[in-house]
Amino acid sequence: MVRKYYSEIGVKEWRRLVRDPYHRLEFETTMHFFKKHSPFEGLVLDAGGGPGRYAIELAKLGYDVVLLDLTPELLEIARKQMKKAGVEDRVKQVLQGSIDDLSVFDSNTFDVVLCLGGTLSHIVNGKRREKAIDELLRVAKKNAPIFVSVIGRLATLVCALIYWPKEMENDGLYQKICDTGAYYGGRGIYTRWYTGKKRSFAPCHFYLREELEGSFRKRNVKILEMVGLEGLATLHQKETNRLFKKYPKAWKNWQEIHLRTCTHSSVVDVSQHFMIICKKY
């Protein structure tokens, strides 16, 4: 169902991270912290990188990149965009695969490992998610930074209040999401706000901050930071876009405030997407 969902939205997923100032917060905040914690060169794995938005950006910065994703349609978009951007020489491989089986790569291969957006969240089965984390760590070199972002559970519950109040009548649906984070697809969660029409979201595990942190803390890594990617702007799309359009100086000040607050644990808790940054021992 995950593959089907992303094959159908196609180029909309390529545009998602840059479609307006609100959505660019996720992309630009991720890149800010990537530059803060990554080496100046090296081989990067973009695991679950879809149409290649991050892979292409990193190739432009001079990194060598390997892109892996489950959905062939998104990988085809990535190849076209890589050619358009003129970064094909920096892209070493574009592969179809799942993040819970990276056996195509040797251990200790990559200088940086990325697993961004909702890739880890889209593995609903808990054992498979834990295996995916093990695989992401296995293929990273010693001291390599690892960036993993997920979709937040608390923000999803607030989405229900704002966008899907009728669905709250479904006894048990949001109670289960609240208690376990599990959503198996179908009615209840939609992506109309960026696809342009009502579409049921793909199956997903919505994370709590302490849950993601706990999964990494029990492994052989040092946690460097956790970041709320939309931060205090979460679910304030209209207000964020209005600030950017009408008040340029205020927007600049807001960006500074965002970067100063997005690592606060309470902000991470409620962010629509949040990211853990760790280093492999």
**Which residues, other chains included, contact 158 with Cβ-Cβ below 8 Å and sequence gap of 6+?**
234, 235, 270
CA–CA gap between residue 38 and residue 206 (Å, rounded):
27
> pLDDT 10s per residue in the chain (281 long)?
889 888 988 899 999 999 999 999 999 999 999 999 999 999 999 999 999 999 999 999 999 999 999 999 999 999 999 999 999 999 999 999 999 999 999 999 999 999 999 999 999 999 999 999 999 999 999 999 999 999 999 999 999 999 888 888 877 889 999 999 999 988 778 875 444 567 789 999 999 999 999 999 999 999 999 999 999 999 999 999 999 999 999 999 999 999 999 999 999 999 999 999 999 99
Structure tokens at 165: 């109040």
Unique residue bearing structure tokens 């409620």: 270
Could you give the domains of the chain? 2-151+205-280 (3.40.50.150)
Structure tokens at 95: 């592969």
Residue type, position 85, single letter: A
Q: What is the pTM of this model?
A: 0.96
Q: Do residues 114 and 147 lie in contact, with contact meaning Cβ atoms separated by under 8 Å?
A: yes
Using alpha carbons, select from 229, 7, 11, 215 the residue that is nearest to residue 116.
229
Burial of 127 (0-12, 13-18, 19+ CB in 10 A): exposed
